[in-house]
Structures are given as structure tokens and as C-alpha cells.
Structure 1
């Protein structure tokens, strides 16, 4: 989307917020997109693997067993919510209905999950996961790029662009290993990256897509890559 287009969308978003709670539609405090009760009841991903953000039944001091056996190319994941309940419904309104208020609330939720970080703990740049061109055309926008652009603006971080050089079949229905094979060599980053970057998507399922992009970032000069997403899909 052009800069002019982004500006138009942002003007719409400023009119959309504040308003009623995005979840229960009750009155929300001035300047907040949600009420305190709904915010507290969201499915926060607090018990999770530090490296892949997979929800765990109890606190894990570090990486889960899978990450210890097969470490992903990103050193940690910051995914504040689980993809379920109200968060899943909000995400679906954003992805499939292109609802601007839903997208703005998702960006704000990402900011909330990162609020405890010091400036020195933030990466030096963000990269959105490139969407399959056909899917982006179907929806009329690239949701990962949309989220990443606005999050970067709020965090005052630059964005770099990755390219999808191989159109891959859908990931739906594939297990973890098949997803990794499907995405091998799918992305490239043409620019020289700073040492610390984060790759960003809306939903993290197995982490295979973000891992493939993280690998491309390491080839492009990054020394440490984090994986960021709004929500994590709990694996069965």
C-alpha cells in the first residue's frame, strides 16, 4: 500500500478509536480500546516456551524440549496471546473482513505485550512475513505488513522488506516437518540487515514460516533474530 493509502487508513483509525470495548461493546475508558475486565480475561500466553512461544501446561524455565532438540533460527519469541476465544474472533475480523478497528486493537495488544521491554532490549529493525501474492490479492491487503508497519511506527523502528521468491502451497494440514520443507528457500532479504532484528506475523502456528524468514535474515547479515506475532496457536 502506498504512503498516501496508509495515511488515509490511519485517519480512519483515529476516528475509530477510542470507542466501546472491542470485545464486549460496553463503555471503555477514554483512550482505551477495551474495558479492564475484558483485557484481564484475554487468553494471555504467559506459560510458554521462551524460544518458540508454544503454550505449556506449566512454567518452563527456558526452552521447551522440542526447541532443545531442534533449535529454531530465532533466539526467542514474543507472542503475548493465545489464538483462541475473543482473540481469534478479533483476528478473523481483521484478516477476512479487513476491519480497521480490529487491526488497530491487534497492534495495540502487541504493544501491550512488549511494554515491559527496555529500549536496549528492542531489535534494531522489523521485517514482516511476506504473504503469498494470491492470498494478498484475495484479501486486498497483506495483514502482516499492515501490522508490522504500524507497530514499527509506534516503536520508532525501521522496517526492512523480505521477498518471497518461491510461491509455496498452502501450509494448512501440514505437520511441522512438512511445513519446514515446504518453506525451505522461500524468502530472501536483499538489504544488509543490522545485527538484531525481529520477524513479524499475525499468527504463529508451528513457527515454520517465521523460522524460514529468520534464516533468510541471518544470511542477510543479522546476528540475532526474534519472532514476533500477535497470537500463538496451541498445538494439539
Structure 2
């Protein structure tokens, strides 16, 4: 009910500039076009790349491809997107969450929306979820699964790891190695969902757990991708 009310309320004024919004959208056409779209990106890990390398795998994925086959991350974590993500993640703003979810849907091609047979959100450890009081990836995943008409399967984070913030790529991979479990058999095609993707280390660890649970094809979905870490 709350989601429906938000979707009816959001159109009218652009969530970014407060000017008149496009029909049935929470943004105006100018702001939508000016958003930091992640168009030139590695197809495997969604790392932003120069325009000349659009569609090519990045150097990291050529050497060590992730456990998920491809990533779908339509935006870069910059400018207006970063600000809206902070309001959603740290202040639990339902308006910001609704806009970000709509942007994710807008950035998914039709074939992608019909691809997954299940959605798996990146889970928080129960202690971390209790401390924070808000699970942003779970919030997005519940609503996206309902809109796509596919089940949401819950994964378990059985070890509370230190924050990934400030860690380099290798440290992030070690930090989350083996921390996820999926306790039920999964269908063949699974989409993993997080709010922000940095190096893909967390999503890679979750993809490995999903493959152990029976998934044969795994994609990593997120709203935004941060700039490259060393």
C-alpha cells in the first residue's frame, strides 16, 4: 500500500530538480538524461570504462572472471545518484528508495527483466541489521521480486565481517570469502541484488554460494557502481 501511494505521489515533481516531471515518472526528462549512466562498462563486473572500450571485459575480469556471468548496473555512484543513495541507505528514505528502484528498472532491458527465476539479495548479518535498523538491499529486492513476479530467496550471512569500506580489491575478497549460505535449492537462473557495487567481491562470494545451491547461471544486479578501486 505504501509503495503504491509513493508511486502515485512521485509523479508531478522531479525528484532531482523539483520541476515538472515526465508523465508517470519521478523525474524530468532533462535530469534523467543527465544522470551518470554506466553505459561504457565491463559486461562482467560493470566497472566503468572509457567509451572506446565499451562492452569489453576489464583487465581484472580477463585475469579472474567473477562467479556471476554478467552484471547489470545502470548507473555510476556519482553526483545526484550518490546523494539519493545516501538518503536511502543511511536515512531510510522511502522516497529515495522508490526513485532508485525505478531507475534500476528503467536501466534493465526487457530481456533482463524476464530472465531471472529468482532474486537473491545480499544479506546483512542479523547483528548488523539490528544495529542499523534497515536492510537496504532487502528492501529493494522484495519490491523488485514482486514487480518481476519471481520468488525472493533469502541467503544467510553466517559471519559478521568488518566493513568493506577502505579495503582494496584483494582485501575485500578475503573479507567475504565463504560468509554466505543458501539453505534451499535454487532454480537455474538467479539474479543477485545489492544497492551499490564497488569491486563485486561481496556479490562474487554470494554467487559462489548460489552455485553451490544449484544455480547454473548467475547475474549481479545493483543500482549503481562506484569508481574503480586499485
Please tell me the TM-score bracket, short chain as reference.
over 0.9
Task: Show the counterpart of 1:57.
Answer: 50
Q: CA deviation at 1:133?
A: 3.0
Task: Show the counterpart of 1:70.
Answer: 64
Q: Where does 1:116-195 land on structure 2 (aligned, <5 Å)?
A: 116-117=110-111, 122-195=115-188
Q: How far, CA to CA, are the matches of 2:109 and 2:131 in structure 1?
A: 34
Q: CA deviation at 1:220?
A: 0.2
Q: How far, CA to CA, are the matches of 1:216 and 1:126 in structure 2?
A: 14
Q: 2:163 aligns to what SS in structure 1?
A: coil
Task: Show the counterpart of 1:96.
Answer: 90
Task: Show the counterpart of 2:203.
Answer: 210
- 1:197 is aligned, of 190, 198, 206, to 190
Q: What TM-score do you get using the length of structure 1 for normalisation? A: 0.91
Partner deviation per Cα, 1:174-212 (whole Å, 9 max, x = no partner): 111111111111000001000110111000001000000
Preserved contact between residue 16 and residue 101 of structure 1 (Cα < 8 Å): no
Q: How far, CA to CA, are the matches of 2:54 and 2:22 in structure 1?
A: 35
Q: 1:117 aligns to what SS in structure 2?
A: helix
**Runs of 4+ with >4 A deviation:** none
Q: How far, CA to CA, are the matches of 1:118 and 1:41 in structure 2?
A: 23
Q: How far, CA to CA, are the matches of 1:43 and 1:189 in structure 2?
A: 34
Q: How far, CA to CA, are the matches of 2:113 and 2:6 in structure 1?
A: 26
Preserved contact between residue 164 and residue 188 of structure 1 (Cα < 8 Å): yes
Q: CA RMSD in A?
A: 1.6
Task: Show the counterpart of 1:4.
Answer: none
Q: How many residue pairs get matched? A: 228
Preserved contact between residue 3 and residue 98 of structure 2 (Cα < 8 Å): no
Q: How far, CA to CA, are the matches of 1:130 and 1:112 in structure 2?
A: 24
Q: 2:74 aligns to what SS in structure 1?
A: strand
Structure 2 stretches lacking a partner, 5+ long: none
Preserved contact between residue 98 and residue 139 of structure 1 (Cα < 8 Å): no
